[in-house]
C-alpha cells in the first residue's frame, strides 16, 4: 500500500527519495509525489498519477535541490487516484505532509478547519492533517509540539512525516497503526514506511512504536511515546539484502520468487530441524513451556496467509492432535469468539503489518489466550514485535504483490510447528522421524516441480481467453485449490473459484461446460479415489479438466482430461509441492494476457488499512 520516504541531510535528497519510492513500488500504488525544501526556503512539490517513473521523468529536467524532503506513493482510499489527490499535501505553502493509513474522523475535522478559513484542494483525508498541524503551529513553539498536540485529535491509523518550509533542519514523524522506521546515517537521517526503501543509504534502523512521535534532524533523533515521555528505541542492524533492480535472469519478480522457493525452504529449515526434532527455540524464547500447555489453536490471517492457516488446521488436528480454528482476520476482529482453555493464538502474515491481522492480535491479547505466535517474513514488523513468539520464514524480501515464496515458507513453518506440538501430544517417534525426513527432501522436490514450467507455459495458452475457472481439491488440498484460484484472480484477472470437490453436486456442477476449465489437485492420498469420482462427475457433463496428479495416481490423459504429473511426495507435504505448478499456471496465463504481474491492478503488498 502507500509508501513513505523522508530525509534530512546536507546533500540533495531528491534522488534518494525517488530511489526509496522505487523500492516501495512493489507494495502497490497509483500515484507518487515529492516535496523538498529548496535552497531559498520554498517548497518544491512534484506529483504524478501513475508510476514512480513518471515522477522521476518529471523531476529529471530540474531536480529540486535541498536536503530536507518527503516522498510518497499513494494507494487511493479517500478520493480517486489523481495528481490532485497525490501526496504530499500542503497547507498554505508552509506545511507539507505525507501519510499512510486512514484518518477516520476526517469529515468533522475538515468541517472545523473550513470554518477556520482553510481551503481544501483534494478529496483526501490526509489534507486534514496538513491544515491541522498548521493550525496547531499557531499556538506551539515548534513543529514537534504542534504535531504532539494535533495527534490526540486524530482517529484512525497514521504513519506520517511532516516538514515545515520555514525550518529545513528537521522533520517530525508520528506513528499509530501504520509502520515507520527511522534510518540512521552519518550526519543525515531518514524515515520510511519500510526499511527496504532506505537500504542504499543506511543499515541502521530504529522502529517506532505505536503512539510514538519523533523529531529528526541531521544529527539527532528525539522520540516521545504516547504519554509524551522521552524514550529510546533500540537500534537494529539490518541484514536484509535487496536490490530493487535485480530480477536476475527473470522477467518478473514473481517468477524469480517462484524459482527461489527451493532455496527459501532450505533456508527456513536450516539449523531448525534435526532428525525427528524441531528445535522449540525456533519459535522464540519460552516456546517449549508454552507448547506443553497448548490444547487449542486459533489461527487468524488474511488472503494467501489465511490459506496457509487452513492447511495448518488439517495438519494440527491430524498429526498434533490439537483442535484448531482458522478465521479471516477482518471477520474475527469484529465478532465475539469463544476462547477455549489453553488456546494459542497464531497470526500468519508475510508483511507483518496487515491492519486486520494486527488488530485481531491486539484484541485477542485482552481475551485470555495462553499466548501468541506469529509466522512472519519481516523481522521487526509490528506482528513480530507484538507477539509473544515468532517464527521467521526466511524467504527474503518478497517483491511480487501476489505472495509465492512467503506462502510456501509459511507452510514450512506450520509443518514444523505441527511436529513441535505433536511431540507433546502423542505423535509417535517413528512418524516424527518420517516427517523430519520428508521436510529435508522438500527443497529437492520443489526444484523438480519447477521443471514443469515449460509444460505449464504451453498449457496456459488454453486459459488465456477464458472468463472463469474452477479449482478443485479435497482435504488439505482444498486450501491449495483456493490459493490457486486466488493467484489466477490476482494476476490474470480471470474469475476463479475453488471448491472442496465433494461440494460439486451442491451447486457448482451447474456451471460446468466446455468453456469452464477445471483444475484439480490430486496427490496420491487417502482421498484420491473420492476425488476420481468427482472428476468423473465433471467429465460426464462435458467439462475440460486439468489434473495436477501424483505420478502414481493413474490418471490417463485424453480429449477432455489433461494430466500434469507432479513428483511423488509424502502426502503430508503435498500441499506445499502442489502450490508451485498452480503459481506457474497463473504466472504464464498472466503473461499471455499482458497484465502487470508484479503489481496487479488495485492490489497492495502490505495492506496497512482495513
Q: How far is the CB of 374 from ligand F1P (least distance, A)?
A: 10
Considering only residues 14-73, where is the footprint of ligand F1P by CB under 6 A? none
Alpha carbon of 425 to those of 316, 341, 418, 573, 578: distances in Å? 10, 16, 10, 20, 28
Alpha carbon of 301 to those of 354, 381, 491, 576, 594: distances in Å? 9, 15, 21, 18, 30
The single residue among 174, 213, 302, 359 that binds ligand F1P, judged by CB under 6 A, is: 302
The single residue among 195, 305, 393, 409 that binds ligand F1P, judged by CB under 6 A, is: 305
With CB under 6 A as the contact rule, which of the stretches 35-43, 255-263, 350-358, 421-429 interacts with ligand F1P?
A: 350-358
Q: DSSP letters of 394-435? A: ------SSS-SHHHHHHHHHHHHHHHHHHTTTT--HHHHHHH
Q: How far is the CB of 309 from ligand F1P (least distance, A)?
A: 10
The single residue among 100, 134, 605, 610 that binds ligand F1P, judged by CB under 6 A, is: 605
| Dist CA 478 CA 588 (whole Å) | 22
Of 28 and 443, the one with the shorter C-beta distance to ligand F1P is 28
With CB under 6 A as the contact rule, which of the stretches 81-89, 303-311, 426-434, 445-453 interacts with ligand F1P?
A: 303-311
- Does the CA dihedral 445-447-451-456 come out positive or negative? positive
- With CA atoms as reference, report the closest residue to 179 among 1, 22, 387, 26: 1
Of 343 and 349, the one with the shorter C-beta distance to ligand F1P is 349
CB atoms near residue 554 (< 10 Å): 11
| Dist CA 402 CA 303 (whole Å) | 10
Q: How far is the CB of 468 from ligand F1P (least distance, A)?
A: 21
The single residue among 255, 264, 401, 415 that binds ligand F1P, judged by CB under 6 A, is: 401
The single residue among 160, 351, 534, 579 that binds ligand F1P, judged by CB under 6 A, is: 351
Annotated catalytic residue 302: no
SS (H, E, C) 106-162: HHHHHHHHHHCCCCCCCCCCHHHHHHHHHHHHCCCCCHHHHHHHHHHHCCECEEEEE
H-helix or E-strand spanning residue 498: strand 495-500
Q: Per the residue annotation, which of 51, 423, 487, 605 is the catalytic one?
A: 605
Of 18 and 355, the one with the shorter C-beta distance to ligand F1P is 355
Q: How far is the CB of 273 from ligand F1P (least distance, A)?
A: 23
- 303 counts as binding ligand F1P under rule CB under 6 A: yes
Q: Per the residue annotation, which of 2, 264, 324, 376 is the catalytic one?
A: 2
CB atoms near residue 370 (< 10 Å): 19
- 382 counts as binding ligand F1P under rule CB under 6 A: no
Q: DSSP letters of 192-258? A: ESSGGGGTTT-SEEEEPPTT-EEEEESS-EEEE-TTS-EE----EE------TT--TT-SSHHHHHH
Site string for ligand F1P, 494-513 (x = CB under 6 A): --------------------
With CB under 6 A as the contact rule, which of the stretches 71-79, 127-135, 216-224, 302-310 interacts with ligand F1P?
A: 302-310
Of 476 and 598, the one with the shorter C-beta distance to ligand F1P is 598
Q: Which residue is nearest to ligand F1P (CB)?
A: 303
Distant-in-sequence, close-in-space partners of 323: CB < 8 Å, separation ≥ 6? 295, 296, 297, 317, 340
With CB under 6 A as the contact rule, which of the stretches 63-71, 106-114, 399-407, 416-424 interacts with ligand F1P?
A: 399-407
| Dist CA 599 CA 610 (whole Å) | 20
Of 68 and 372, the one with the shorter C-beta distance to ligand F1P is 372
Distant-in-sequence, close-in-space partners of 336: CB < 8 Å, separation ≥ 6? none
| Dist CA 526 CA 582 (whole Å) | 22
Q: How far is the CB of 129 from ligand F1P (least distance, A)?
A: 25
Placement of cell 494535533 in the chain = 150
Task: Report the relative pairing of strands 323-328 and 296-301 from DSSP bridges.
Answer: parallel
Of 231 and 328, the one with the shorter C-beta distance to ligand F1P is 328
Task: Report the relative pairing of strands 213-217 and 221-224 from DSSP bridges.
Answer: antiparallel
Torsion of the alpha carbons at 16, 22, 26 and 32, rounded to the nearest 10: 100
With CB under 6 A as the contact rule, which of the stretches 92-100, 159-167, 345-353, 521-529 interacts with ligand F1P?
A: 345-353
| Dist CA 469 CA 491 (whole Å) | 14
With CB under 6 A as the contact rule, which of the stretches 45-53, 98-106, 185-193, 296-304 interacts with ligand F1P?
A: 296-304
Of 160 and 351, the one with the shorter C-beta distance to ligand F1P is 351
Site string for ligand F1P, 550-589 (x = CB under 6 A): ----------------------------------------
Classify the phi-psi angles of 282: left when phi > 0, otherwise alpha if psi is within -120 to 50, otherwise beta: alpha
CB atoms near residue 177 (< 10 Å): 22
Q: How far is the CB of 305 from ligand F1P (least distance, A)?
A: 4
Annotated catalytic residue 2: yes
Of 191 and 383, the one with the shorter C-beta distance to ligand F1P is 383
The single residue among 124, 350, 579, 586 that binds ligand F1P, judged by CB under 6 A, is: 350
Of 54 and 379, the one with the shorter C-beta distance to ligand F1P is 379
Q: How far is the CB of 314 from ligand F1P (least distance, A)?
A: 19
The single residue among 304, 343, 409, 418 that binds ligand F1P, judged by CB under 6 A, is: 304
Output b/e per residue, 421-459; b: 16+ Cβ within 10 A.
bbbbbebeeeebeebbebbeebbebbbbbbebbeebbeb
Of 109 and 360, the one with the shorter C-beta distance to ligand F1P is 360
With CB under 6 A as the contact rule, which of the stretches 166-174, 208-216, 300-308, 365-373 interacts with ligand F1P?
A: 300-308
Check if the beta carbon of residue 85 is closer than 8 Å to that of residue 122.
Answer: yes
Check if the beta carbon of residue 269 is closer than 8 Å to that of residue 411.
Answer: no
- With CA atoms as reference, report the closest residue to 235 among 199, 185, 198, 184: 184
With CB under 6 A as the contact rule, which of the stretches 36-44, 109-117, 159-167, 348-356 interacts with ligand F1P?
A: 348-356
**Under rule CB under 6 A, how many of the chain's residues touch ligand F1P?**
14
- 403 counts as binding ligand F1P under rule CB under 6 A: yes
The binding site for ligand F1P (CB under 6 A) comprises: 302-305, 349-351, 354, 357, 401-403, 605, 607
What residues are labeled active site?
2, 605
Amino acid at each position: 500500500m502507500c509508501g513513505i520516504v523522508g530525509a534530512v541531510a546536507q546533500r540533495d535528497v531528491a534522488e534518494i527519495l525517488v530511489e526509496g519510492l522505487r523500492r516501495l513500488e512493489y507494495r502497490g500504488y497509483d500515484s507518487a509525489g515529492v516535496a523538498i525544501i529548496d535552497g531559498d526556503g520554498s517548497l518544491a512539490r512534484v506529483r504524478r498519477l501513475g508510476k514512480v517513473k513518471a515522477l522521476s521523468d518529471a523531476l529529471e529536467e530540474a531536480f529540486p535541490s535541498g536536503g530536507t524532503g518527503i516522498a510518497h506513493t499513494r494507494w487511493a482510499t479517500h478520493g480517486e487516484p489523481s495528481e490532485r489527490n497525490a501526496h504530499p499535501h500542503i497547507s498554505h505553502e508552509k506545511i507539507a505532509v505525507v501519510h499512510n493509513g486512514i484518518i477516520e474522523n476526517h469529515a468533522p475535522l475538515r468541517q472545523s478547519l473550513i470554518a477556520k478559513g482553510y481551503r481544501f484542494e483534494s478529496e483526501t483525508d490526509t489534507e486534514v492533517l496538513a491544515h491541522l498541524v498548521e493550525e496547531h503551529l499557531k499556538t506551539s513553539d515548534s513543529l514537534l509540539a504542534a504535531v504532539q498536540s494535533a495527534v490526540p485529535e486524530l482517529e484512525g491509523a497514521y504513519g506520517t512525516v511532516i516538514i515545515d518550509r520555514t525550518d529545513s533542519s528537521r522533520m517530525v514523524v508520528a506513528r499509530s497503526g501504520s509502520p515507520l522506521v527511522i534510518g540512521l546515517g552519518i550526519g543525515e537521517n531518514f524515515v520510511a514506511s519500510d526499511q527496504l526503501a532506505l537500504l542504499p543509504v543506511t543499515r541502521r534502523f530504529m522502529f517506532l512504536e505505536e503512539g510514538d512521535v519523533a523529531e529528526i534532524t541531521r544529527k539527532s533523533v528525539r522520540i516521545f511515546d504516547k504519554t509524551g515521555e522521552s524514550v529510546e528505541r533500540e537500534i537494529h542492524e539490518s541484514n536484509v539484502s535487496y536490490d530493487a533492480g535485480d530480477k536476475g535472469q527473470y522477467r518478473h519478480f514473481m517468477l524469480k520468487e517462484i524459482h527461489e522457493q527451493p532455496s527459501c525452504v532450505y533456508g527456513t529449515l536450516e539449523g531448525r530441524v534435526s532428525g525427528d526434532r524441531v528445535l522449540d527455540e525456533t519459535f522464540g524464547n519460552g516456546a517449549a513451556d508454552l507448547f506443553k500447555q497448548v490444547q487449542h489453536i486459533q489461527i487468524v490471517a488474511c488472503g494467501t496467509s489465511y490459506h496457509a492457516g487452513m492447511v495448518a488446521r488439517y495438519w494440527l488436528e491430524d498429526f498434533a492432535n490439537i483442535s484448531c480454528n482458522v478465521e479471516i482476520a477482518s471477520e474475527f476482529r469484529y465478532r465475539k469468539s469463544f476462547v477455549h482453555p489453553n488456546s494459542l493464538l497464531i497470526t500468519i502474515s508475510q508483511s507483518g503489518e496487515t491492519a486486520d491481522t494486527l488488530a485481531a492480535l491486539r484484541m485477542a491479547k485482552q481475551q485470555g489466550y495462553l499466548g501468541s505466535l506469529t509466522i512472519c517474513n519481516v523481522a521487526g514488523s509490528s506482528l513480530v514485535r507484538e507477539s509473544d513468539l515468532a517464527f521467521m520464514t526466511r524467504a527474503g524480501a518478497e517483491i511480487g504483490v501476489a505472495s509465492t515464496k512467503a506462502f510456501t515458507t509459511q507452510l514450512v513453518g506450520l509443518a514444523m510447528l505441527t511436529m513441535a506440538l505433536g511431540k507433546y501430544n502423542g505423535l509417535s517417534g517413528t512418524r516424527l522421524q518420517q516427517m523430519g525426513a520428508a521436510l529435508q527432501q522438500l527443497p529437492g522436490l520443489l526444484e523438480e516441480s519447477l521443471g514443469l514450467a515449460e509444460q505449464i507455459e504451453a498449457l496456459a495458452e488454453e486459459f488465456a481467453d477464458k472468463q472463469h475457472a474452477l479449482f478443485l481439491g479435497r482435504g488439505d488440498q482444498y486450501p491449495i485449490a483456493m490459493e490457486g484460484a486466488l493467484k489466477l484472480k490476482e494476476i490474470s484477472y480471470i474469475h476463479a473459484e475453488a471448491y472442496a470437490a465433494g461440494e460439486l453436486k451442491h451447486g457448482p456442477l451447474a456451471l460446468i461446460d466446455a468453456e469452464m476449465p477445471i483444475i484439480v489437485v490430486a496427490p496420491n492420498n487417502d482421498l484420491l479415489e473420492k476425488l476420481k469420482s468427482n472428476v468423473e462427475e465433471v467429465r460426464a457433463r462435458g467439462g475440460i479438466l486439468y489434473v495436477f496428479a501424483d505420478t502414481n495416481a493413474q490418471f490417463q490423459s485424453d480429449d477432455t482430461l489433461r494430466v500434469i504429473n507432479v513428483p511423488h511426495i509424502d502426502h503430508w507435504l503435498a500441499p506445499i509441492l502442489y502450490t508451485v505448478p498452480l503459481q506457474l499456471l497463473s504466472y504464464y496465463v498472466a503473461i499471455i494476457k499482458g497484465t502487470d504481474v508484479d503489481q496487479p491492478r488495485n492490489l497492495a503488498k502490505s495492506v496497512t488499512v482495513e
